[in-house]
Amino acid sequence: MACFTALDGQARGLKADGDTRTINQLMADTLVERLTGQTRAADVAAEIGLLMRPETLFTDEDTAAVLAGYGPIPPGIARNITGHTKVWVRRLFTRPAGGEDQPGGGEQIIGRDPRRRRFDGPLGDLIRAVDQHCQRPWCDHHIDDIDHRTPYTDGGTTTTADGDAYCRRSHTTKHLPGFTIRREDIGTGTHQLVWTTPTAHTYTSRRPPPLGHGPHVATPKTPPGTSVAERRLQRRIGTHTSTRTTHTTTQTSARTTGHLRQ
């Protein structure tokens, strides 16, 4: 109630000063301004996704665009949206859905442009899961940032092959003058990072195994591929066999004892 009263009072004050917006609009805009710290609600950035053909964006082609979360929209409206806002263009690569021999069957997306700068979403989660900790040699601090090995401004791509996880201190260190980092393949499908310091010393680090290095490699108790049902059946068979063996031994012992008495 206190929040509503404060917003209502602010809105009515602005209305009395001649603002043409309605009371509800003024209350909503005031709430956004106070939550975001912006001086105007219209200054708050929002990202929307528009999917369209290059010809629709750059020419007057009349193929409909797709607004994320809504659906198809007329090409004119799509061009109007892109013409009055800040725009980032990200390419999506397609191929005929029916293969190269059947181009009339529509299209399917097969990849996207890796030029997006930030390692966010599933890509960032994957790199964090693979690297596990900071990738600077002798640093096992938790991950704060993911950075391009080849600087983004020099053509680095936002991919798992060019992204490494670092703590905040190591991330700052790698950008200091004199430090260089390169990737070196060491066979068996693995690689290591080679850090060269301003004094020309080199140090290496490798991504850890999925379950970490540990003091030793543990042997799984259950052979790979054995299902839960198979393991339960094996336990039941083992218990039944053990019971029969004990029972047979008891009977044999009793018979032997009786024979000696005769």
Quote the CA–CA distance of 204 and 196 in Å, as a whole number. Answer: 9
Look at 144 and 223; give whichever has higher pLDDT. Answer: 144
pLDDT exceeds 50 at position 256: no
Is 218 inside a domain boundary?
Answer: no
pLDDT single digits (tens) 9-45: 999 999 999 989 999 999 998 998 888 777 776 666 6
User: Vertex 181, ends 180 and 186: CA angle to 5°?
Assistant: 140
- Nearest alpha carbon to residue 135 among 176, 96, 169: 169
> Helices then strands (H, E): number in the chain?
7, 10
Is 237 within the bounds of a domain?
no
- The H or E element containing residue 73 is strand 71-73
- Last residue of a domain, which of 190, 206, 222? 206
Q: For residue 95, what are its two tokens?
A: 């191929």
- Whether 188 is covered by a domain: the verdict is yes
Tell me if 72 is assigned to some domain. yes
Closest Cα to residue 133, out of 91, 169, 179, 92? 169
User: Is the predicted pLDDT of residue 252 greater than 60, yes or no?
Assistant: no
Q: Are residues 39 and 57 in the same domain?
A: no
Phi and psi (nearest 5°) for 251? -65, -40
Q: Is residue 198 a part of any domain in this protein? A: yes
If we measure between CA atoms, which residue out of 38, 34, 58, 56 comes closest to residue 46?
Answer: 38
Give the C-alpha separation, 62 to 83, whole Å: 16
CB 116 within 8 A of CB 158: yes
Helix (H) or strand (E) holding 24: helix 23-36
Is residue 88 assigned to a domain?
A: yes
What rounded mean pLDDT belongs to the chain? 78
68: containing domain: 45-93
Instruction: Determine, yes or no, domain membership for 66.
Output: yes
Looking at the fold, whether 153 and 199 belong to one and the same domain comes out as: yes
Q: Are residues 127 and 197 in the same domain?
A: yes
The answer on 54 and 28 residing in a single domain is no
How far apart (Å, rounded) are the C-alpha atoms in residues 102 and 255? 84
Same structural domain, 158 and 191: yes
Number of domains in the chain: 3
Starting from the edge strand earliest in sequence, which strands make up the sheet with 190-196, in order?
A: 180-187, 190-196, 202-206
Written as six digits, the tokens of 105 are: 């069957």
Is 190 part of any domain? yes
Quick check: pTM over 0.75?
no
Which pLDDT band holds residue 236 (cuts at 50, 70, 90)?
Answer: confident
Q: What is the pLDDT of residue 208?
A: 76
The per-residue pLDDT for 172 is: 94
Domain boundary at 186, 206, 226, which?
Answer: 206
Q: Which residues pair with 193 in a beta bridge?
A: 183, 205
- 73 and 5 belong to one structural domain: no
Domain boundary among 182, 206, 230: 206
